[in-house]
Amino acid sequence: MSTETTTIGAVQNRNPARRGLLTLLIDWNIYIMLAALIVASAVLSEHFLTLQNIYNLLRQLAPLALVSIGMLLVVLTGGIDLSVGSVAAIGGMVVAMAMPALPIEGGAALILCVLAAMACGTLLGAVNGILVAGFGMASFVATLAMMTMARGIAYMLSNGQPVRFPRELPTAQILTAFGAKGVPGLGTPWPIVAALLIIVLFVVLLRCTSWGRLTVATGSNETAVRLAGLPVWRYKLLAYTICGGLSALAGVMVTARTSVGTPVTGVGLELDAIAACVIGGALLSGGKGTVVQTMVGVLILGLIGNIMNLMSVPAYPQQIIKGVIIILAVLLQGMGASAKRRV
């Protein structure tokens, strides 16, 4: 009889010596990745580190940043929102159509128009929230339905045509200036400033308010929150509602930059937003993820595109490379989780 041990199945044994450094690298993987991408960009192109290029890049990323924050809130509760792109399109259309329609002109009129756009997004987000939190529908299904409905509404608003507003309208001039110009003196484009303010707002809300922690708690262990006697539905509803509002605002930003409201705005935006959350380490099962890391995810996605444009990589391979980066990021995080478990 053999004394040797035969394995039934496989038990893994790994060398513990390399864990320390490995864990460190894995914990900081997205920052390392971001730094590597910045260095690579700077090496590849002398234009990259010019203020102009950085401003351009960030201005283009501002709408994605807003949508990603909304997506993060939903993802934290353990859900997903596929309708963000379509809702953004509606936001961009509503603001473009409301400006010439209003009897008043100027800054106050613009604020009204933006609020109207955000109200539409908030409403659609609330419908998502009610379907998920109130009727217990799977978020994937509810927001998939909203994705197609909202897109349909966006097309119907203008019969499928882009909405061009009169350039000479004072309200419109403010909006396009917002999209094109920068803060007087500094030159920082307004969309970047606005996005930064919103990022700071949500960093504070998620970190320093009970609401933020309970949103995380809902995704981490819904039963625990419910057993503590707290209204789980409220945190879910709020997450979807805010996500809708932020998506519409992102649509407004796109309209400001392009001076036209189009119903095809934000096609595929939901995928970029989900990718940003996931690269940033958010768990799609909920309970894990931060605004700052999600913003790093947004930057990584933006930089990949920027590098490849600088290297004149055609659009189609770009999509493949983007996918590979997402897979790599998530693989690294998975390794991080299992490395920690073994320690």
Partner 1 sequence: MERLQMQGIAKEFGGIAALRGAAFSARSGEVHALMGENGAGKSTLMKILAGAYDHQGGEIRINGAPAEIRSPQDALRRGVSVIYQEFSLARHLSVAENILLERLGRDFWLDRRGMERRAAELLADMGFPEVNPRAFAGDLPVAMQQVVEICKALSRDCSILVLDEPTAVLTAHETEKLFALVRRLRDRGVCVIYISHRLDEIFALCDRVTVLKDGATVGTWETATLDHDSLTRLMIGRELSDFFPARQTNLGPVALEVRGLTTPLVQNVSFSVRRGEVVGIGGLVGAGRTEVLRAIFGADPATGELRLNGQQQVIRSPGDAIRAGIGLVPEDRKQQGVLLDLPILTNAMLTPVNPHLGLFGILRGGRERAAAQGLRERLRLKAASLEAEAGTLSGGNQQKVALMKSLVSRCEILLLDEPTRGVDVGAKVEIYRVINELAATGAAVVMVSSEMLELIGMCDRVLVMRAGHVAGELSGPTLTEEGIIELAMGRDNVH
Q: Binding residues for partner 1, per CB under 8 A?
A: 2, 5-11, 207-214, 216-217, 219-221, 223-231, 287-288
Q: Write out the two tokens for 14.
A: 């790994």
Provide, rounded to whole angstroms, the least separation between the CB of residue 133 and partner 1: 16
Provide, rounded to whole angstroms, the least separation between the CB of residue 338 and partner 1: 14
Closer residue to partner 1 in complex, CB, 67/214: 214
Closer residue to partner 1 in complex, CB, 180/230: 230
Instruction: With residue 295 as reference, give the H or E element that holds it.
Output: helix 291-310
Q: What are residue 163's DSSP bridge partners?
A: 261
**Which three-class secondary structure state does DSSP give residue 182?**
strand
Closer residue to partner 1 in complex, CB, 9/314: 9
Question: 10 Å Cβ neighbour count for 108?
Answer: 11
Provide, rounded to whole angstroms, the least separation between the CB of residue 55 and partner 1: 35
Q: 271: number of CA atoms within 13 Å, CB side?
A: 6
**Which three-class secondary structure state does DSSP give residue 322?**
helix
Rounded CA-CA distance 183/22 in Å is 43
Provide, rounded to whole angstroms, the least separation between the CB of residue 73 and partner 1: 15
Give Cα separations from 35 to 95, 174, 203, 282, 319 (angstroms): 37, 36, 22, 20, 21
Closer residue to partner 1 in complex, CB, 112/283: 283
Provide, rounded to whole angstroms, the least separation between the CB of residue 50 and partner 1: 40
Closer residue to partner 1 in complex, CB, 47/226: 226
